[in-house]
Structure 1
Amino acid sequence: MYKFSLSILLIFVSHTISLADFPIKDSEKGENLRYIIHYGIIRGGKASLKVRIENIDGQDLYHATLTGKTVGLFNTLYKVKDTYESFISPETLLPVKAIRDIREGNYKRYTEIVFDREKNEVNSTRSGIHKVPEGIHDILSAFYFARANHFNSNLKVGQVVKIQTHFSDELFLLQFRFMGYETINSKIGDIKCYKFIPIVATGRAFKDEDDMTIWVSADANRIPVRVQFDLFIGSLRCDLTNFSDFSYDSIIDND
């Protein structure tokens, strides 16, 4: 069950990772976020996101890479190392290519997805070609798009942001309900945040559809500060511990 819970956390961290407004300030150095995952008081894993500009086939693209893995006792009991990559067009913020590399115990799965915008198709190395809605996203690119178009002062309490994605070879509708503002006391200081509750499926891990909460800094950077799960087996929390190379000023609330 812990294996399942950590896998969910890594997936939803990838749903919610976002960095500073484009363009990236330093295209060589890029931008970096680092997180620690706790199960109760026990440190169970860590995650990081790096983004930089890369030239691929003559086209400059944003390359975002999210990695998450178990540490300590949990790494001994059940080793997890998951990696998600997204190559995003700077003009449209739509993905050109996505990679999902999953290693959880003895289970391994590697999938590459190529997006054909003219035909509204995706080509998966595992399942072939699929028709998809126009403007489809992968998991990582979805939040970049949400940050640029939805996460701002125009949000109304109770408003639901919806983005259609292609994940694990099927369509997955991301939904975030805005709950207002909250200041989070983090290891790097007090940070004023947007508070979101993603609408999740109940049953195997979640008792209620609002058993997950995400706090995103309410500044120009709009980075995830905390992700918390209330699961059948207990609470998991992912906290921002370090950040660097943002295009805007500090996210810490100095008021």
Structure 2
Amino acid sequence: MRKLSLFILLLLSSYTISLADFPVGANEKGEHLKYVIHYGIIRGGKASLKIKNEKLNGEDIYHATLTGKTVGLFNTLYKVRDTYESFINPKTLLPVKAIRDIREGSYKRYNEIKFDREKNELTSQRSGVHKVPEGIHDILSAFYFARANHFNSDLVEGEIVKIQTYFSDELFLLQFRFMGYETINSKIGNIKCYKFIPIVETGRAFKDEDDMKIWVSADANRIPVRVQFDLFIGSLRCDLMNFSDFSSNSLLNKE
């Protein structure tokens, strides 16, 4: 249950990286996306991501901070308070540092990872130094990299995007298949979206490889609009509820 809740919360939340136009001059102060998670008709959790320009050791970086938590009945049954951070080089879109702070029920874990691009190594606070493939990502930066480089009109239906990541102190190959276009009736209106199916491990939580689906707006913003999971225990859905930019505090929708 612990690993499942982490995987679900991370994927549906980390896919919310939304600074689609940062490299080409979008709002330089950053943006904020908020999502609500439902299990059937029951509201089970919230996810939020803020991303903005900062400095780390005197260098410009993009700082993405993801938080996810359970609410209501789910919070009583199994309390989750998860935070992920990624510090991303704005030129290469590769992470220089990542933080994972997990609180799920009685389980707690904190880890920091620093990346050495010259040596193709990373240093985990928990497990030490590891040799890794060139261009390795943390899982949060991987979605931003995918959004910036793969979510466009060049996508061919059936194409599989693969990105090598380091997650939970091990190598993890992130893969998702483009399934074409679909219009989603969302909280902020009808939105034409790219539809993706991540390739997941079957047997433990998912019955089939296509039991998880992600819809990303097929426009310049490329904002994740919906994530849906069909699990052994039922269907879980995450929907975009709120968007704002830090410069104007304008909202597409208020909760």
Shorter-chain TM-score tier:
over 0.9
Q: Which residue pairs with 1:69 in the alignment?
A: 69
* Residue 45 of structure 1: how far off its partner (Å): 0.2
The equivalent of 2:146 in structure 1 is 146
Matches within 5 A, 1:19-98: 19=18, 20-23=20-23, 25-28=26-29, 30-98=30-98
- Counterparts of 1:123-202 in structure 2, within 5 Å, are 123-202=123-202
**2-structure distance, mates of 1:75, 1:7:** 14
Query: Runs of 4 or more off by more than 6 Å in structure 1?
Result: none
**Post-superposition CA distance 1:208-233 (Å, at most 9, x none):** 11110000000011111000000000
Cα distance in 2 between the residues matched to 1:4 and 1:131: 25
Moved more, 8-17 or 114-123: 8-17
1:175-218 residue CA offsets vs partner (Å, 9 max, x unmatched): 01000000000111111100000000011100111110000000
Aligned position for 1:225? 225
TM-score, scaled relative to structure 2: 0.93
Cα separation, 1, equivalents of 2:164 and 2:55: 27
Is the CA contact (8 Å cut-off) linking 2:216 and 2:226 kept in structure 1? yes
Question: For residue 231 of structure 1, what is the amino acid of its counterpart?
Answer: L
Pair 138,212 (structure 1): closer, same or farther in 2 beyond 3 Å: same
Q: What are the Cα deviations for residues 151-189 of structure 1, in whole angstroms up to 9, with x where unaligned?
A: 100000000000000000000001010000000001111
In the alignment, the residues of structure 1 paired with residue 141 and residue 63 of structure 2 have an alpha-carbon distance, to the nearest angstrom, of 10
How does 1:98-117 map onto structure 2 within 5 Å? Answer: 98-117=98-117
Could you say if the C-alpha distance between residues 220 and 118 of structure 1 is closer, same or farther in structure 2, counting changes exceeding 3 Å?
same
Q: Distance in 1 between matches of 2:35 and 2:245?
A: 16
Higher deviation after alignment, 205-214 or 17-26: 17-26
The one-letter amino acid paired with 1:114 is K
Cα RMSD for the two superposed structures: 1.8
> What is the aligned-residue identity percentage?
79
Query: Which residue identity is paired with 2:11?
Result: F
Structure 1 residue 246: deviation in Å?
8.8
Say whether the 8 Å CA contact 1:142–1:165 is kept in structure 2: yes
Check whether the contact 2:48–2:67 (CA below 8 A) recurs between aligned residues: yes
Structure 2 Cα separation of the partners of residues 61 and 4 of structure 1? 30
Q: CA deviation at 1:77?
A: 1.3
Matched AA of 2:46: K
Give the structure 2 partner of residue 17 of structure 1: 16
Contact 1:25 1:246 survives alignment (8 Å) = no
- 1:142 maps to a residue whose letter is A
Q: Is the 8 A contact 1:156 1:178 kept in 2?
A: yes
- Where 1:152 maps in the other structure, the secondary structure is coil
Tell me, yes or no, if the aligned pair for 1:17 and 1:140 is still in contact at 8 Å: no
Once the two structures are TM-superposed, the CA of residue 143 in structure 1 deviates from its matched residue by 1.1
Distance in 1, matches of 2:132 and 2:108, equals: 26
Q: Contact 1:25–1:245 at 8 Å: present in 2 too?
A: no
Q: Aligned partners of 1:22, 1:138: CA distance in 2, in Å?
A: 19
Deviations 1:123-145 (A, max 9, x none): 00000000000000001110111
Does the 8 Å CA contact 1:221/1:246 hold for their aligned counterparts? no
Instruction: List alignment gaps of at least 5 residues for structure 1.
Output: none
1:5 is displaced (CA, Å) by 4.5
Quote the offset at 1:15 in angstroms: 4.4
CA shift, 1:6, in A, is 3.4
Map Cα deviations across residues 51-107 of structure 1 (whole Å, 9 max, x no partner): 011111110100001100000111111110111100000000000000000000110
Give the counterpart letter for 2:55 in structure 1.
N
The AA in structure 2 aligned to 1:184 is I
